Amino acid sequence: MLKSQFLRTLLAAALFVSANLVNAAGPIKIGTFLTTTGPASFLGDPELKTLQMIVEDINAKGGLNGRNVELIHYDTGGNAREALNFVKRLIRKDNVDLIVGGTTSGDTLAVIPEVEKESIPLISLAGAVEIIEPARKWVFKVAHTDRMAAAKIFEDLRKRHLTQVALITGDGGFDKSGRAQILKLAPEYGITLVADESYGNKDTDMTTPLTKIRATSAQAIINFGFGQAPAIVTKNIKQLGIGLPVYQSHGVASQTFIDLAGDAAEGVRLPAAALVVAGQLADTDPQKPILLAYKKAYESKHGPVSTFGGHAYDGILIAAEAIKRAGGTDKVKVRDEIEKTQGFIGTAGVFNMTPEDHMGLNLDAFKMVEIHNGAWKIVE
């Protein structure tokens, strides 16, 4: 009788210990909500593939702090309300330790109140400066902002002593946000906007607004947008024989743009992440080996890399480093460690976060590139 009592106690103790062991060895759960279908799917698709690739890699190398990483993903389809629902599910049902994601600014901005309320670290992959301005306790981001792109273009204009600029933008969210930043920053750089024209992103001909620009005293043209519209603008500029320098945004920093615009793209300049010109960086550039390694790993599986996949790379690795330094998944500790990220070399640049700056990139993260013989060339 006594013996069986003892055995039972022993069994209970064993169960308790093993349950504890399982708990300690259970996976670290990283949640993500991306736009892998719908109009922004060409952004979310490489992001998800990159996250899966990195998680696989981390697990193959023994995980983080001896624990495997589990990625839990939901597709928002670019619908902000869905994004919020999925984030609630990630937090309450899946009990994730941290969230990486929000492909678009709209998705990210929609979930910020929830993330702040539930006190869980979020690393966004979207562009809008509003995500980190003002700095919120739990929200970080890794993608360049449109304000940085505008500033980089203005710096280059100043170097070329061009002060009269014509602006032409589409009717999408990215276009409008970029336009706002350009209008805001122009006076700081002593630049006068002599035209502010617009078009629809689905239009097939932009010669009408460009004809109006031709009649102004503009010395350069800035076009802010992504997709096929900037390529049509570039072709129309050539068609109309407007021989002015043309600046595009980081939204078209992909081979697709060169393919679409053809020889009209020659001489077009734009700010782009170093990933686009990885092979041309100086060998001393600390980013170079990282960019080439990511490019090789991604391209061996999925085809050409994009800067958007690069943002996912930066996001999840910053998270992984923070979890390692925090020695666990305590949310407050992980958050503090993300904020202390210093000298992290990612695909978008070198990250130095502070309590005031939850992105930590400076203008050097952008390279000014020019299209030359159908390929990118750094002009610094």
Partner 1 sequence: MLEQIFQFLVTGITVGSIYALVGLGFALIYNASDVVNFAQGEFVMLGAMNAIALLAAGLPLPLAAIAAVLLTTLVGLLLERFAIEPAKGASVVTTIIITIGAAIFLRGVASLLWGKNSLPLPAFSGNEPIDLGGATLLPQSLWILGGTVVLVALVNAFLNRTLLGKALLACSFNRAAAQLAGINVQVMLRLAYGLSAGLGAIAGILVAPITFSSYEAGIMLGLKGFSAAIVGGIGNPMGAVAGGLLLGVLEALGAGLISSGYKDAIAFIFVLMVLFFEPTGLFSHKAAERV
Residue with tokens 């562009």: 127
Is 205 or 356 the residue whose CB approaches partner 1 more closely? 205
CB of 205 to partner 1, least distance (A): 5
Nearer to partner 1, 78 or 346 (CB): 78
Ranges within 257-286 binding partner 1 (CB under 8 A): 259-260, 262-264
CB of 39 to partner 1, least distance (A): 8
Of residues 164, 228, 280, 352, which one binds partner 1 by CB under 8 A?
228
- The pattern of x and - marking residues 143 through 182 that bind partner 1 according to CB under 8 A reads ----------------------------x-----------
HSE, CB side, 13 Å, CA atoms: give it for residue 362. Answer: 5
The verdict on 205 binding partner 1 (CB under 8 A) reads yes
14-43 residues in contact with partner 1 (CB under 8 A) are 41-42
Minimum distance, C-beta of residue 291 to partner 1, in the bound complex (Å) = 22
Determine the size of the site formed for partner 1 (CB under 8 A): 33
Q: How far is the CB of 204 from partner 1 (least distance, A)?
A: 4
Nearest approach, Cβ of residue 80 and partner 1 (Å):
20
User: Which one of residues 89, 238, 331, 377 is an interface residue with partner 1 (CB under 8 A)?
Assistant: 238
Minimum distance from residue 209 beta carbon to partner 1 (Å): 5
The least CB distance from residue 228 to partner 1, in Å, is 4
Which position among 9, 20, 211, 354 is part of the footprint of partner 1 (CB under 8 A)?
A: 211
Which residues lie closer than 8 Å to 13 by C-beta, 6 or more apart? none
Nearer to partner 1, 231 or 319 (CB): 231
Q: How far apart are CA 297 and CA 226, in angstroms?
A: 26
Q: DSSP string of 259-318?
A: HHHGGGGTT-EEEEEGGGGGGGS-TT-THHHHHHHHHHHHHHHHSS--HHHHHHHHHHHH
Question: Smallest distance from the beta carbon of 260 to partner 1, in angstroms?
Answer: 5
Give the side-chain half-sphere CA count within 13 A for 307.
Answer: 25
Nearest to 154 by CA among 363, 376, 329, 316: 363
Under the binding rule (CB under 8 A), the answer on residue 232 touching partner 1 is yes
Neighbours of 178 (CB within 10 A): 30
In angstroms, the CA 112 to CA 108 distance is: 6
- Residues with Cβ within 8 Å of 19's Cβ and at least 6 positions away in sequence, in order, are none
Q: Which of residues 44-63 bind partner 1 (CB under 8 A)?
A: 45
Determine if 193 is a binding residue for partner 1 (CB under 8 A). Answer: no
Of 42 and 189, nearer to partner 1 (C-beta) is 42
Of 302 and 333, which has the nearer Cβ to partner 1? 302
Which of 196, 370 has the CB closer to partner 1?
196
Q: Is 226 left (phi over 0), alpha (psi -120 to 50) or beta?
A: beta
Of 59, 239, 280, 352, the one binding partner 1 by CB under 8 A: 239
Q: Of 76, 267, 269, which is closest to residue 155 (Cα–Cα)?
A: 269
Q: How many CB atoms lie within 10 A of CB 364?
A: 11
Q: Is residue 185 within 8 Å of residue 207, measured between CB atoms?
A: no
State yes or no: residue 79 binds partner 1 (CB under 8 A): no
* Member of 227, 245, 251, 310 binding partner 1 (CB under 8 A): 227
Q: How far apart are CA 261 and CA 236, in angstroms?
A: 10
Does residue 208 bind partner 1 (CB under 8 A)?
A: yes
Site membership for partner 1, residue 207 (CB under 8 A): yes
> Does 101 sit near partner 1 (CB under 8 A)?
no
Q: How far apart are the C-alpha atoms of 35 and 43, rounded to whole Å? A: 7
Q: How far is the CA of 35 from the CAs of 46, 106, 114, 219, in angstroms? A: 10, 11, 19, 38
78: left (phi over 0), alpha (psi -120 to 50) or beta: left
Chain residues binding partner 1 by CB under 8 A are: 41-42, 45, 171, 197-200, 202-205, 207-209, 211-212, 215, 227-228, 231-232, 235, 238-241, 256, 259-260, 262-264
